[in-house]
Amino acid sequence: MSNTIAAGAWLLDLGVGIHVAVGERELQYLLPDLPKFTTIPNAPSYCCKAFVWQGDIIPVVDIAQLILGQEITRLEQEELIVLAIFQSNDNTLIQRGALFISAIPSKIYVQDQQTCDFPPPQALWQQLSSSCFNHSEIGAVPILNLEKIFLTTATSLWSKQGVESFAS
């Protein structure tokens, strides 16, 4: 019998064949309906929408669009929003952000032995994720680093990554 401990996580289907995971305590709420979005001018197209939730303004990131570098068209019934919570390194207040997903999240358990390399584009996934594991059916699944995604400016992401790989 193995002594390895499995960590709980949520598997998120982003559509267009892209899956990611977040920690089991990082997912707060699956919105039953699409909220009323406000488009923020001059924000990156993968993160230009925000909505109001319980007196807070929540930015929405479309990770699939960020990875593919093009707008993602989802069927209405396949467009869902999950609310995620995260904390910055300096242990300040818990903050919220939202992600576009295409299916209801499923609970999974991940073990250290499942660690694997990031899928392409590797450099970009490294920017957005803390690690990656191999799912028996899906393959490599990056585990999102929500702090990096929501607390890093688009400019910083681009300058670290280099524009070429994004545009390809």
Partner 1 sequence: MIGLSLDANANADAEFNSFYVVMTIDNLNLVVPQTHVYALEPILDVSYSDNNFIGHIQVETIVCPVYVLSANLTSVTSISQNRRICVLLHTASPISGVSIEDFFVMPAISDTLDRLPPNLFGLLCDQVVLTEWTQQIKVFPLPACMRTPQTRLRGLILHNDNILCITTAQDLLDCCTTSYLKLPIL
Q: Which residues bind partner 1 (CB under 8 A)?
A: 36, 38-48, 50-52, 55-57, 59, 61, 66, 69, 97, 149-155, 158, 163, 166-167
State which residue, 56 or 117, has the beta carbon closest to partner 1.
56
Give 2's contacts (C-beta < 8 A, 6+ positions apart).
none
Closest by alpha carbon to 13, among 95, 75, 58?
Answer: 75
State which residue, 5 or 167, has the beta carbon closest to partner 1.
167
Mapping DSSP onto H, E and C, the string for 145-163 reads CHHHHHHCCHHHHHHHHCH
Residue 40 CB, nearest distance to partner 1 (Å)? 5
Residue 91 CB, nearest distance to partner 1 (Å)? 17
State which residue, 118 or 150, has the beta carbon closest to partner 1.
150
Instruction: Tell me: cis bond preceding 120? Omega within 30 of 0 counts.
Output: no
Residue 65 CB, nearest distance to partner 1 (Å)? 8
Residue 33 CB, nearest distance to partner 1 (Å)? 15
Name the 3-class secondary structure at 138. coil
Residue 37 CB, nearest distance to partner 1 (Å)? 9
State which residue, 31 or 116, has the beta carbon closest to partner 1.
31
State which residue, 106 or 165, has the beta carbon closest to partner 1.
165
Query: In whole angstroms, what is the distance from residue 38 CA to residue 156 CA?
Result: 24
Closest by alpha carbon to 89, among 37, 117, 130, 42?
Answer: 130
